[in-house]
Structure 1
Amino acid sequence: MDFAYSEKTQDYLARLDAFMVQYIEPYENQYQKENYRLNSTPNWREWQVPPRVAELKQMAREQGLWNLFLPDEKAAAGLSTLEYAPLAERMGHSLLAPEIFNCNAPDTGNMEVLHYFGDDAQQDQWLRPLLEGTIRSVFCMTEPDVASSDATNMQTSIVAQNDEWVINGRKWWSTGLGHPQAEIAIVMGLTDDDADKHLRHSMVLVPLDTPGVKIERMLPALGEYDAPYGHGEVVFDNVRVPKENIIVGPGAGFKIAQGRLGPGRIHHCMRAIGAAERALELFIERGVSRIAFGQPLLKLGGNTERLADLRVAIDQARLMTLHAAWKIDEVGARKAIKEISAIKLVAPNVLQQVVDETMQLFGGASMCHDTPLPGLLAVARSLRIADGPDAVHRATIAKTELKQWQERKND
């Protein structure tokens, strides 16, 4: 395996870095203030996107820095998972950057679902405007009344009636539900309670203006509403959509989910590593510039040793993630399940560790929006739930390891 950046990656990375340095990073502080001014209310119906965001997105698109995540040369940049990974890391330095390059969740995963599994009509109606960045999308999977870390528990029903699917249930933590441009949701629900547990569920496309779709509230994540995206709770009350809105067909939900959640987790993990690099830069800057007890903070309390440990931890996480990306490209996401679970366990924990140590150096300044640290901490802690609990990843790794051990023993 070779993790050296391809010429294509190097070209995109250089242009991406230049764009971020020139346009995004100087705007971040202003964006934070504008976003708070426009969206400080929990009433998501009033949320707005600062106008500069649309301007930057148009500039990025004109420069060919658009839809970099999708390995299709006709629709996007045509980068492999391994080639895209360093770009995701660079975007991870900024909480805003993925949005500017149309590479942010949940749209990336939803676009992958429609690209790989959607039919021509579904792609024309929904994939095309998502790729163009004119609409936003939502993925409705987690439910409040069941342990959603076991997706076979999902109870939202999707029942066939004549030429329609009728959907009833409640979903929450549906990211992007509060965005002013959110128009379509992919909803995963139960279509056949008697089938094999991995063939019971399906995914359907539900326009958010369909009668019976009731957005009840946005949920604050660690006290922040994450406007203008939001993480919403939504009820589907006898929602009816045409039969052709099902993706692939009844019972294909888990097959689609496995395809969606593999590469998408690489994106999350590489962005987490980029965020960790950003936090480490802040750690060093604060450590060498801040004086206490007559010395720079870096020379006090074992901070030099912590710096070394954090450097090693980030580099280890990066290599693990690149290896998982390489394996996805080589054998597919389903056969790289152990490696994907490992990075979902490691990368957010490393980010949380780096941010936590950096916050210690910043003291009170780390608790407010004078630094990006509160946002980075929220990302780290949220990922350790949103991408599945650590315990589930450990169980998957152990189960796969034991299976491989048994296969070797039998050989």
Structure 2
Amino acid sequence: MDFEYSPKVQELVLQVRQFIDTEIIPNEETCYKQLAENRWRTPPILEQLKAKAKAQGLWNFFLPVSYGEYSGGLTNLEYAPLAEEMGRVHWASEVFNCSAPDTGNMEVLAKYGNEEQKKQWLEPLLEGTIRSAFAMTEPKVASSDATNIETSIVRDGDDYVINGHKFYISGACREECEILIVMGKSDADNPNRYLQQSMILVPTHTPGVDIVRPMTVFGYDDAPEGHAEVIFDNVRVPATNMLLGEGRGFEIAQGRLGPGRIHHCMRSVGAAQRALEMMCERANSRVAFGQPLSKNQSVREDIALSACQIEQARLLTLKAAQKMDTEGNKAAKDIIAMIKIVAPNMALDVIDRTIQIYGGAGVSQDTVLAHMFAVQRILRLADGPDQVHMMQLGRNLAKSYE
């Protein structure tokens, strides 16, 4: 395994890091102040930063080279250190047009969409002029088992009619969200549970689409994208909005979630790295009982253990990315599951230690730590809960020794 970055990637890492340090972090407070004025519209400072990043060519890194003209030109392994840098600030990835759920939706459209769908939705997403959401999770069923999904997609002449109830639909609250990729059942009686589902494109402003409310995560609404509760009440869209074909929804979901999971893990490493840096700064500057906190053995142990955990997760992430590049997403499913289990838990550990060293300030609005913790905690549920990944990973490993 060779994880040395090419000169091209090393230069991109430096450019992204410099942009984050000089443009994004100094504007964190400005962004949150502007959000307070309009919770669900992209803050002007964010649009300004996106224009700067795009002008510098720091744009659409996430698409693998196999997607041709739509590609950012990087492999998963090459993208990993860039995503790690973006993970230092919750909304930094959007500045480079590399944020979820748009990344996964763009991958879906690039890989499974027809030419008309790409023209209408993929191109403006790649340009960063619109936003999107992925509507899968439902409140009334255990959505960790995607075959439970109850939303119905029924053919009616030249249209499909959609009825269902979704929640935690990230991105759907934003005013700029123009398109939803909706997963539902088009053949609920199919004896093969994995052929019952389909995915269909639903423009956000279609009659019958009701964005009910933003769901919160530990009290955070994550504006401006939000995590919406959405009702689909006799929503009618053209049959041409179907992705790939009826019964292909589960196939698309598996193709979408693999890269999405590892992107989250890359950013988790970056969030943990920033927390470690904050921990060290606090330990050196804060004096208690007549000496800096860094003189205390327990604090030193917290710093050392955090550094060890971050490096372990970083290396596992890089190994997973490399396997995806060399053997494909399906062959890498076990190691993707491993890092999806490891990375958010690691980040939670590191952020929790940093909060402890910051004391009351660590859980206040005066630092980013509380929000960082909330974001990492939901990642233990997003794109499949830990228990599902462990169940499937354990099954696969046990089977390999039969």
Kindly indicate whether residue 61 of structure 2 is the aligned counterpart of residue 65 of structure 1: no
- Structure 2: distance between partners of 1:87 and 1:153: 36
Aligned counterpart in structure 2 of residue 87 of structure 1, from 82, 89, 102: 82
Separation (CA, whole Å) in 2 of partners of 1:262 and 1:390: 15
CA contact (8 A) 2:197 2:247 kept: yes
Aligned amino acid, residue 401 of structure 2: W
Matched, 1:268 2:264: yes
Q: Report the counterpart of residue 2 of structure 1 in structure 2.
A: 2
User: What's the offset of the Cα at 1:36?
Assistant: 2.8
Residue by residue over 1:358-381, the C-alpha shift from the partner in whole angstroms, topping out at 9 and shown as x without a partner, is 000111111222111011101110
How far apart, CA to CA, are the structure 1 residues paired with 2:136 and 2:124?
22
Aligned partners of 2:34 and 2:44 also within 8 Å = no
1:187 corresponds to 2:179: no
Q: Contact (CA 8 Å) 2:133, 2:169: kept in 1 or not?
A: yes
Distance in 2, matches of 1:6 and 1:200, equals 44
Q: Which residue of 2 aligns with 1:163?
A: 158
Residue 239 (structure 1) shift: 0.8
CA distance in 1, matches of 2:372, 2:205: 33
Equivalent position of 2:352 in the other structure: 356
- C-alpha separation in 2, matches of 1:191 and 1:149: 19
Q: Does 1:242 align with 2:238?
A: yes
What is the distance in 1 between the residues matched to 2:388 and 2:250?
Answer: 17
Question: Counterpart of 2:319?
Answer: 323
1:74 shift after superposition: 2.5
Corresponding position of 1:125 = 120
Aligned to 2:383: 387
Match of 2:49 in 1: 56
Listed one character per residue, the Cα deviations across residues 106-144 of structure 1 (whole Å, up to 9, x for unaligned) are: 000000000000000000000000000110001000000
Q: Any conservation in 1 of the 2:42–2:176 contact (CA below 8 Å)?
A: no
Q: Distance in 2 between matches of 1:274 and 1:59?
A: 22
- CA 1:36–1:367 in 2, change beyond 3 Å: closer, same or farther? farther
Q: In structure 2, what is the equivalent of residue 20 of structure 1?
A: 20
8 Å CA contact 1:28–1:96 kept in 2: the answer is no
CA distance in 1, matches of 2:134, 2:380: 18
- One-letter amino acid of the structure 2 residue matched with residue 294 of structure 1: G
SS of 2:401 mapped into structure 1: helix
Give the conservation status (yes or no) of the 8 Å contact 1:258–1:333: no
Aligned to 1:44: none
2:105 corresponds to 1:101: no
Q: Distance in 2 between matches of 1:256 and 1:80?
A: 20
Distance in 2 of aligned mates of 1:317 and 1:98: 20
**Superposition RMSD in Å:** 1.2
- The 3-state SS of whatever aligns with 1:333 is coil
Contact 2:84–2:270 (8 Å) recurs in 1: yes
Counterpart Cα distance in 2 of 1:391 and 1:284: 33
Q: Aligned partners of 1:198, 1:92: CA distance in 2, in Å? A: 34
| TM-aligned CA deviation for residue 401 of structure 1 | 0.5
Q: Which moved more, 1:292-301 or 1:155-164?
A: 292-301
Question: After alignment, is 312-321 or 67-76 more displaced?
Answer: 67-76
Asked if 1:220 is matched to 2:216, the reply is yes
* Structure 1, unaligned runs of 5 or more: 40-46, 407-411
CA drift of 1:210 comes to 0.9
Deviations 1:170-226 (A, max 9, x none): 010000111110010000001112221111101000001111111111111110111
Contact between 2:160 and 2:239, CA under 8 Å: does it hold in 1? yes
Residue 236 of structure 2 aligns to a residue in which SS? Answer: strand
Secondary structure of residue in 1 paired with 2:179? strand
Q: Identify which range, 120-129 or 372-381, moves more after superposition.
A: 372-381
Match of 1:409 in 2: none
Match for residue 198 of structure 1? 194
CA–CA distance in structure 2, aligned partners of residues 214 and 25 of structure 1? 35
User: 2:144 is matched with which residue: 143, 146, 149?
Assistant: 149
Whole-Å separation in 2 of the counterparts to 1:258 and 1:36: 37
Q: Tell me by how many angstroms 1:301 deviates.
A: 5.6
Alignment partners' CA distance in 1, 2:16 and 2:107: 22
Match of 1:43 in 2: none
Q: Distance in 2 between matches of 1:329 and 1:403?
A: 25
Distance 1:197 1:8 in 2: 45
Mapped contact 2:70–2:110 kept (Cα < 8 A): no
Checking the alignment, whether the CA contact within 8 Å between 2:130 and 2:176 is kept in structure 1 is yes
Q: Report deviation, 1:235.
A: 0.7
Q: Distance in 1 between matches of 2:309 and 2:381?
A: 21
Unmatched 5+ stretches in structure 2: none
1:365 to 346, 361, 366: 361
**Contact 1:283/1:358, CA 8 A, preserved across alignment:** yes
Tell me if structure 2 keeps the 8 A contact 1:222–1:378.
yes
Q: State the alpha-carbon separation in 1 of the partners of residues 18 and 354 from structure 2.
A: 26
Q: Report how far residue 11 of structure 1 moved.
A: 2.2
Alignment of 1:107-118 (within 5 A): 107-118=102-113
* Offset at residue 165 of structure 1 (A): 0.9
